[in-house]
Structure 1
Amino acid sequence: MLKNYFKIAFRNLFKNKVYSSVNIIGLAVGLATCIVILLYVTHELSYDKHHSNSDRIYRVTSHIDFGGNFIELASTSAPMGPTLKELYPEVEAMTRFRPRGSYLIKKEGKNYRESGFVFADSSVFDVFTIPFLYGKPDHALTQPQTVAISEEMARKYFGRADVVGETLTIQDDFDMEITGVYETMPNTSHFHFNFLISMATIDEANNNVWLSNNFRTYLLLSENTAPEAFEQNFEYIKKTYIEPQLLQFMGITMKEFEEAGNRADYRLQALEDIHLHSSLTGEFKANGSITYVYIFSGLAVFILLLACINFMNLSTARSAKRAKEVGVRKSLGSDRSTLAGQFLMESLLLSFLALIVALFFVELTLPYFSDIAGRTISSQYFTNLPLSLGMLGIVIITGLLAGAYPAAMLSSFQPVKVLKDTHLERKGHGLFRKGLVVFQFSISIVIIAGLLVINDQLQFIQNRNIGFEKDRVVIVEDAYAIGSSNGVDSFRDDVLKNSFIKSATISSFFPVDGYSLNDLAYWPEGKSPTQNNTVSMQTWEVDENYIPTLKMEIVEGRNFSENRAMDKQAVILNETAVQRLDLQDPVGKSISTFAMNHEDGSIDQSKTLSYEIVGVVRDFNFESLRENVSPLGLFNQRSSGNVAFRFADANISEVLAVLEAEWTARAPEQPFNYAFLDQQFDRMYRAENRVQNLMSTFSVLAILIACLGLFGLSAFSAEKRAKEIGIRKVLGADIASILRLMSKEFMALILVSFMISIPIAYLVMQQWLQQFTYRTDLGMSVFLLSGLITLGIAIATVSWQSVKAALTNPVNSLRNE
């Protein structure tokens, strides 16, 4: 029986090459899309699960609402972790990270810039699973000025992995002993460190300041410890350790602090939730989003459904060709179950052939998908058993689902009617097929509308007035590598001698990527700091050329001046800072803050610093447009971190050539690193750009598959109405009238799809836009355009079949009448 099924299935496959090919390709595209998205979802859900105790590791996060400024941090104070470990036996192990960005590594007289530096407690290897290749994890980071490095860095700088005992020179003269080499961290980790420097190296790790949050703190809790129950301990921490410092610095209790509308909460965040459920300030890198996992999973299901619907429509469109075959088989004794089995076997055969083609498509497109998704995704068909079983299950379910309706319909034909060529299609069947097409195009319109809204939002972001001009600004990084401040000044001055360089500024702080989390508390001078008048504010060190170079706008007062010595104790506030400090006529007034001990980051409460407000700058977006503008103070202090140059409409390669030449003349052994401000700004919305690219791809696939379905239904309609079209042609109908006749029905289906899909698309995209503080208006034009695009593609698809039917010789359809 099975042999006969296969024989007939293959014979029909080769007999109807065009329709079989369309069926296989349609299913293959749907399966390939589903498999690729399944690989993506599997990759996203696997983050941080390579740690042996990943289900018991938690990050301590801070949620501070102070002076009207709410911030959620991935970090805590330095003493938080050690205190929790000391007080609570439920904490099996604790470790902290203190990120430090990039450093220069000196090797054989040359300097190389590397990122991925972090200070870490020696217990890092007790909490996380970081396989060691050389050295002993228990002793690797116990002493000051020791470092453990990744295998990748060991081979890069020493040509081998066994480098324990070697010396690594950082920042020209800071020698670190290598005490361990570990495997390069997998790409499914929410952090990637190439250099783990012992926490004992920095004094800051031992300070007792609870009001500063610079450390990432992780806890390994004991078995059966509920994180919700453990979080109750933070109330004791606040009362015992944080409240005394509130009293010391602000003269208020924790109760008074909270009664004034302020909050300081600490929570535990599961390690496995960080990648997809966290976007806190101070993340090691931009995380993924569970929302996009849901969206793409839904798209995978919908596109696979579209492919199944196509199979149904194309199979039923060919039913007339096989109706007599069914009649003959039934006349010879075949029962309905045998015929249904035959058609299901053909469907399963097509599904497995489609799987083979789909795997080819996956291998062909996976590098492209990985690139636009920003992930390193690999095919794991044979090494990942659940994935392989899942794919096999999808193929079988797809084959059965796609073949069930055609099998039920074809096997129900009555032999007398079909042999007389008078079989009539049941009314419900036609409505069902039309409903499938409406479903297909509703999904397509939703996807296209979503793509257009995402594109509009990205255009809005790129074109919005963000308070400074980001175009034609190049930032030369690590200017301190030149040496003295005079060397940096001469570098700036010599570059400015070129006519196409308009201005330059020296600072460590630039919008977007160029600022760091260095909030300090400020209050109006002459008043004691209280919860009502103290504002947590960003502190940036800039020179007098900063505002004109970035083309910011002074709305009150003036800019800094190099001719005014007192400007070294001056500040320019943004509008938000003035509002939060509740200052009327701020120019000429002063603000105060506690002095900082720069060695360990502690606060010196015995000394305050005051700064005169000389100007107010219009608010500019230095964070993502998802966030409101935070309070900011620009201070006229010396900083030699980076140098930014604004250039005219000149050849960029010429600008870079001048910069590199001047750099090399002063620091021939130092790497020349630069970045463009507009590109840094665009990187903030990398996730949205990736989603836009993916949505574009899936829109094309959805439309392609939907058009295949429409092709099937129009083919069926043309076949069913062949005699009618023949009569009309005999009576003088031209191609245009037949085209209108054939298209009218399908245009009505597209209209129904439009009416169904627009409310859904509106609600979904309105919800997506809520994550942006600054967002585009969601007008009807986007949805009308998505409908018109779909309509145009549908007309083109139907016209092909309609013209083909109109050009057919009427004799062929009427010869038996």
Structure 2
Amino acid sequence: MIKNYFKTAWRNLIKNKFYSVINIAGLTLGLAIGMLILLWVQDELSFDSFHTKTKNIYRVNSYLGSGSTKRIWDNAQAPVATYALKEVPGVKNAVRITHAYNSVFGYKDKLLKEENAAYTDPSLFRMFDFRWIKGDATNPFPNDQSVIITQSTAKKYFGEEDAVGKVLQQDHKDNYTVSGVIADFPDNSSINYDMLFSMNLVAREYNGKGFWKSLDSNWGNFGYTTFFEIQPGTPIKPIGEKLIRIQAKNAPWIKVNLKENAYQLQPLSTIHLYQADGTASGMQTVNIFLIVAVLILLIACINYVNLSTARSMIRAKEVSIRKIVGAQKTQLFAQFIIETVLFFGIALVFAFVLITLIMPYYNQISGKHMHLNLTDPAVWKIVSVTIIGTLLASSVYPSILLSSFEPLKALKGKITLGVGNVTFRKILVTTQFVFSVTLIIVTLVIGRQLKYIREKDPGYDRSQVFSFQMGEMQKHQDVVKAELRNQPGVEAVTSSDNKLVNNRNTTAGVDWDGKDANSSFIIHHLGIDEKFIPLMKIKLLAGNNFSGVKSDSAHFILNETAVKLTGIKKPIGKRLKLQETEGTIIGVVKDFNTASLKERIEPTVIYYEPKGYLLYVKTTGRNAAKAVAAATRLWNQYNPGFPFEYNFMDEEYGNLYKTEQRTGVLFNIFSAIAIIISCLGLLGLATYTAQIMTKEIGIRKVLGASVSSIVTLVSKDFLKLVLLSIIIGSPIAWYAMNKWLQSFVYRIDINWVIFLLAGLISVGIALITISFQSIKAAVANPVKSLRSE
């Protein structure tokens, strides 16, 4: 029986090649893109889930400031871990990680720059399940000159040789012995480094004589990602409250309001998709992509249902004859279910092929390293959910409809689908285009917002400026700057002690006249020379720039936000203390964006630092290559044996929006796919409509109807549905995009032009799709269509 069902289904598929191709193409695209998106969603949701202690691990987030300056940071100070283990009940284990400076490492004739190294505690390997290949996980750092490297890093330096015991030289000076090799960190790990060094190296930088006597007394540096393993059943909130009291006791100079402030413990499972302050920026994107996957699969299902029900009139006599010769309703239902299964089976095979072909490009766009592994149960979980869901959505109604015809009426040609069924099909077409219109509007809004953040003036001129760390050149900075300024293609040269783009240097050590003694204040700080503000074209609103004299070391410049939040009236000439430096405010500059436009402009204090480690070179644009070549020659002169690396500020600025750019590109693709699938369905329905109206069109042509009137006749019902879709989809898209834009502090307004443009695109696409069959039917010879009458 089953074999006969499949044989009949196959014959029907071959007989109606045009509709079969449309159905299979729509299902293939829907299944392939739907599964690709679901694989991406699964990957995002799986971050850090491979650790056995995931449920008991929390990241410590710092919560400092008061009022409008209140901020939550995803890092903490080094002493937090030490005191937690000693004084906080319920903290079973703690580990700190802090990023290491970029260095060049050498082994024999290999010399490579490493930008992804960190210092950590040995407890990292007791808390997390990172797989060891060689070495002793219970004693990862036998001494302070030990280094743990990943498998790919070991292969990069040592090939197939045993890496353990080999010596890597850092910056031609310090030697480190490889004490262990671990498997590469999984792609879905929030912790991901190529080299790990002992935290004792950081502790050794303190000699007990400076302001900070030791690492475990430095409460001013919030540069340590800190994780706690908490005893099961321990309340989390009291731990944060206990930590802030410990800080208040050991660092009374950091003024905190114990009622407002507390350290926040964030579950490890949430840190990839949720920011430290609880903002669900990543989760929002996951939810949007999940919705898009469902929409695309629904559009594919609607195509199948529409074409099946539309063509049910043609199959009415077939069903009636089967009933007359004894076929039961359940058997007919099973027959049509089998037909759907056959369509889906073929589409699934094509979908797997399509996924395999486009996966490399998809990974490139999405920034992932996914692959379709059909032996992976997780992959089949996605495949099963997708197939079962779409199969049920697209098979049940057509099967019930086709198996319910009354034989005698069908054979007499008196059967009709009825108003309800026609209305249902119109609802499906409208729903399909509501999805498409919504995606078009979403794509337009995302595109405009990305264009806006690319082109918005950040408050400084980043064009044609490249920067690099000076290394040994820093000791000869004046000579280097003078020589570069004389090079063709160089307009100006300046330096700073930190990056301008994405400056994360902050401190709570700031004081001024009139400051509330019980308040804390977090402020960004940046050290520059006297050429920096003119080169970057940062606007000076009041006072003066640094003049390059020795007395500038006691001068400060604030941005507008810093003046506003401190409440300093007429700031020029007022006292300001930054950490241990007492000085005077000499200038105020217009606010400038150093971070993403998703973040508000932070208060910034600028101080004079003529010997910063970062050099900025402003080029003429046309001769930028000559300027880079000149900088390369100087680099090789002062840093022989070290590779020269530089970054243009435009690229650095663009990197702030990598996630948004990828989202925009993927939405463009998904919207295009959704529109293509919708158009396939519309093409099939238009073709069917033209077929059943063949004789009516022939009669109208004989009676003198024009081609344009016939095209209008065939097209108008579809266009009405598309216009209805625009009316329904527009407010849905507006609501969704209004929510998305709220994650940006600086954003576009959603105006009527976007909806008008989306409407014109939708109508235009629908017209192009329908007109092909409409015109074909309109220009056909009426004699052929009426010959059988």
Q: What is the aligned partner in structure 2 of residue 508 from structure 1? A: 497
Inter-partner Cα distance in structure 2 for 1:69 and 1:655: 41
Helix, strand or coil at the partner of 1:333? coil
Q: 1:13 to 1:417 in 2, by over 3 A?
A: same
Matched, 1:495 2:484: yes
Q: Secondary structure at the match of 1:471?
A: coil
Residue number in structure 1 paired with 2:211: none
2:315 aligned with 1:330, yes or no? no
Say yes or no: does 1:22 pair with 2:10.
Answer: no
Q: 2:399 aligned with 1:407, yes or no?
A: yes
Matched, 1:724 2:696: yes
2:506 aligned partner: 518
Matched residue, 2:156: 156
Residue 307 of structure 1 deviates from its aligned partner by: 0.7
Supply the distance in 2 between the matched residues of 1:6 and 1:111 (Cα, whole angstroms). 64
Contact preservation (8 Å) 1:573, 1:634: yes
Aligned counterparts of 2:576 and 2:26: Cα–Cα separation in 1: 68
Cα distance, 1:400 vs. partner? 4.0
Residue identity over aligned pairs, in percent, reads 34
Task: Give the Cα separation in 1 of the matches to 2:24 and 2:676.
Answer: 14
Structure 1 match to 2:103: 103
The alpha-carbon deviation at position 393 of structure 1 amounts to 4.8
> For residue 125 of structure 2, what is the aligned residue in structure 1?
125
| Counterpart among 475, 485, 488 of residue 485 in structure 1 | 475
| Distance in 1 (alpha carbons) for counterparts of 2:535 and 2:578 | 28
Offset at residue 111 of structure 1 (A): 4.8
2:240 is aligned to 234
8 Å CA contact retained: 1:95, 1:217:
yes
Q: Shift of residue 796 of structure 1? A: 0.8
Equivalent position of 1:546 in the other structure? 532
Alignment correspondent of 1:605: none
Which segment drifts farther, 367-376 or 134-143? Answer: 134-143
2:64 alignment counterpart: 64
Q: Could you say which residue in structure 1 is the equivalent of 2:44?
A: 44
Q: Which amino acid aligns with 2:237?
A: E
TM-score, normalised on structure 2?
Answer: 0.94
- 1:740 and 2:745 are equivalent in the alignment: no
Corresponding position of 1:604 = none
Residues 292-307 of structure 1: matches in 2 within 5 Å? 292-307=285-300
Aligned-partner Cα distance in 1 for 2:787–2:561: 84
Distance change >3 Å, CA 811–CA 344, structure 1 → 2: farther
In structure 1, give the amino acid aligned to 2:531. N
Letter in 2 for 1:530: A
The answer to whether the 8 Å contact 2:530/2:610 transfers is no
* Matched position secondary structure for 2:248: helix
> Which of 357-366 and 409-418 deviates more?
409-418
The superposition leaves residues 130-176 of structure 1 with CA deviations (integer Å, 9 ceiling, x where unpaired) of 22222212222253232222222222223346333333222332222
Q: Which has the higher mean CA deviation after the structures are superposed, 149-158 or 40-49?
A: 149-158
Partner of 2:224: 215
Please say if residues 113 and 671 of structure 1, whose CA atoms lie closer than 8 Å, have aligned partners that are also in contact. yes
Q: CA deviation at 1:187?
A: 1.1
In structure 1, the residue matched to 2:268 is: 271
Q: Which residue identity does 1:507 align to in structure 2? A: S
Shift of 1:180: 1.8
Aligned partners of 2:243 and 2:263 also within 8 Å: no
Counterpart code for 2:485: L
d(CA) in 1 for partners of 2:378, 2:145: 46
SS at match of 2:526: strand
Per the alignment, residue 424 of structure 1 pairs with 416
Q: State the Cα distance separating 1:688 from its structure 2 match.
A: 0.9
Partner of 1:531: 518
Distance in 2, matches of 1:489 and 1:111, equals 29
CA distance in 2, matches of 1:35, 1:195: 35
Residue identity matched to 1:242: Q
Query: For residue 578 of structure 1, what is the aligned residue in structure 2?
Result: 563
Aligned to 2:146: 146
- Note the C-alpha offset of 1:184: 1.6
Structure 2 CA distance for aligned equivalents of residues 400 and 518 of structure 1? 56
SS in 1 for 2:181: strand
1:294-373 matches, cutoff 5 A? 294-373=287-366
Q: Deviation digits for residues 447-467 of structure 1, max 9, x if unmatched?
A: 111111111111111222211
Give the whole-Å Cα distance in 2 for the aligned partners of 1:43 and 1:380.
13
**Partner SS, residue 309 of structure 1:** helix
Check if 1:225 corresponds to 2:233: yes
Provide, for residues 746-801 of structure 1, a one-character-per-residue CA deviation record: whole Å limited to 9, x for no partner: 11111111111111111110111111111111111111211111110001111112
Deviates more, 1:174-183 or 1:681-690: 174-183
Matched residue, 2:209: none
What residue is the counterpart of 1:773 in the other structure?
745
For 2:591, the equivalent position in structure 1 comes to 619
Work out which of the residue numbers 453, 460, 480 in structure 2 matches 1:461: 453
Cα offset for 1:98?
1.9
Question: Following superposition of structure 1 onto structure 2, how do residues 589-608 of structure 1 map, counting pairs within 5 Å?
Answer: 589-595=574-580
Contact 1:316 1:716 in 2 (8 A): no
Counterpart of 2:143, as a letter, is: Q
CA distance in 1, matches of 2:478, 2:641: 19
In terms of mean alpha carbon deviation, does 455-464 or 417-426 score higher?
417-426
Structure 2 distance, partners of 1:626, 1:160, is 46
Task: Report the TM-score when normalising by structure 1.
Answer: 0.91
What is the alpha-carbon distance in structure 1 between the residues aligned to residue 583 and residue 172 of structure 2? 35
- Contact 1:67 1:536 (8 Å CA) reproduced: no
- Matched residue SS, 1:163: coil
Count of residue pairs the alignment pairs up: 780
AA matched with 2:265: L
Distance 1:656 1:726, change over 3 A: same
For each residue in 1:229-270, what CA deviation from the matched residue of structure 2 results, as whole angstroms up to 9, or x when unmatched?
Answer: 13213333333x222346x427x7x5xx357xxx32212111
Distance in 2, matches of 1:728 and 1:237, equals 85
CA positional deviation for 1:724: 1.6
SS state of the match for residue 276, structure 1? coil
Distance in 2 (alpha carbons) for counterparts of 1:745 and 1:544: 70
Supply the distance in 2 between the matched residues of 1:280 and 1:195 (Cα, whole angstroms).
Answer: 29
Cα root mean square deviation, aligned: 2.3
8 Å CA contact 1:169–1:176 kept in 2: the answer is: yes
User: Structure 1, residues 253-288: CA drift from partner, whole Å, max 9, x if none?
Assistant: x5xx357xxx3221211111111123569xxxx998
* Letter matched to residue 238 of structure 1: I
Question: Which amino acid is 1:301 matched to?
Answer: V
Q: 1:423 Cα shift?
A: 2.6
